[in-house]
Amino acid sequence: YAKNCQDRCIPLKPKKCLEMLVRPEVLGKHSAAYFAVQDGRVIGGLINLFSATTVSYYVPCATDEARTAQPISVLIDEACRHMRESGRRIWNWESSPDRDSGVYRFKKKWNAREGMYRIYVWCPCGVENIAALGRDRLANEFPYFYVYPYDRLLALEGR
């Protein structure tokens, strides 16, 4: 995964995050993990997140030498089959580095459509504690997320 990200200039998701997503109490309830194996060796993997209606394409990876076998495509096909069987209707490709990236072009080959969506986050420690971090510390502590607009954060509490 780290090499895939490095080769494509994609920021790494924290290792702790990935480890949490495959814990027994999370896997199958909020996430799914798929692996492609060839000759007894893992050549690709995919971690998806899901809600009641939506599956999010979260962490795909494949070994460089296995790319011609297209393990990611096989894993996507399997994940979509599970998605349909579970009654979920939306496949969210998540974001791409930019429209000129190979990642973006790969998703377009699957007839992906661009769209705006919102991500809702529950703050078990309370919104006031998150707001107390301040804009700069919040950005440093959560480099893969954003809060927009930051100055309205406390006004959103209780919604």
The pLDDT profile of the chain, 159 residues, written as one tens digit per residue, is 898 888 877 788 888 889 999 999 999 999 999 999 999 999 999 999 999 999 999 999 999 999 899 999 999 999 999 999 999 999 999 877 778 888 889 889 999 888 877 766 667 777 788 778 888 888 787 766 656 566 666 665 554
**Whole-structure pTM value:** 0.73
Q: Where are the beta strands (DSSP E) in the chain?
A: 31-38, 41-50, 54-62, 90-92
How far is Cα 142 from Cα 154, in angstroms, rounded to an integer? 18
Alpha helices in 38-151 (DSSP H): 71-85, 102-109, 127-132, 135-141
Looking at residue 129, its pLDDT comes to 82
Omega into 149 within 30° of 0, i.e. cis?
yes
